[in-house]
A and B are shown apart, each in its own frame.
Chain A
């Protein structure tokens, strides 16, 4: 990783300007041209270092709903159940975790009323009980890690 790439990761996780030529405005303090910055962001996206470059929206404030769900999946059925769960477009993330409750996924829907139907469908298709753990309060969210 070169200096400009490190600067993108450490200094451009927020604060990208809203102006006519934002890449030029963001590049200047990094001592780079806007062409170089654009080229390097494209490279970081292409190699998977960045998942995205742009606005990070808060789904709930946009009017959408989020909830966290967990399943205890028998080891031998894990891949089959993962395929069933992932096939639902409302499943935004799904992680395998080391615990008896070994599958943890987030449902994101346009409205809160849509969530119970998705959970019922997943329970019917998998034959497993979904543990739903909606967020009751947010104390902090800011995933900004240094490179």
Chain B
């Protein structure tokens, strides 16, 4: 990662300037040409260091107040096939394989589900359960009840 890229990350991680020419402002702050800022950000977008550029909503304020972390104990042999299928469900916003920590924690698949109510989340959890079928040996849903901290990425 080159130095200019890192400077651009630091200058923009909290947001772009709300001005007609935001990249020019970032460039002026960093002492480079606006074209360089746009070119480096284009490169970071192309290789996935930037996931996307745009509005990042507070999902609670959009009415998505039910945040269910659904966790599943899935047969390891089936996970490589089923993980991407669960991730592709339209209501699943994050989907990861994580290690089991036995005996306290038997779950190896995490699928985050955001809904406007718990009833909606329960309905979506049932769809995940149907998709996993016999490969699933157990599951749970952990609802968030409070955000204790949310600062996001700070590099």
Contacts and interface: CB of A to CB of B under 8 A. Distances in A.
B148 A50 contact: no
Nearest to A91: B149
Interface string A1-35: 00000001100111110111111100000000011
Contact of A57 (B13, B34, B84, B140): B13
A115 B83 CA distance: 26
A122 interface: no
Contacts of B45: 18, 55
A95 B95 contact: no
Interface string B112-155: 00100000000000000000000000001011111111111111
A119 interface: no
Nearest to A72: B104
A55 B53 CA distance: 4
Q: Name the prevailing secondary structure of the B interface residues.
A: mixed
Interface residues on B, range: 35 or more
B52 A56 contact: yes
A56 B148 contact: no
B92 A140 contact: yes
B152 A92 contact: yes
Contact of A51 (B38, B56, B148, B154): B56
B49 interface: yes
7 contacts: A15-B52, A24-B20, A52-B152, A94-B150, A95-B144, A141-B94, A145-B57
Interface of B: 1, 9, 12-16, 18-24, 34, 38, 41-42, 44-45, 47-59, 61-62, 64, 67, 69, 83-84, 86-88, 92-99, 101, 104-105, 110, 114, 140, 142-155
Given A38-B20, A41-B18, A99-B140, 4 more contacts: A16-B16, A57-B9, A98-B143, A108-B154
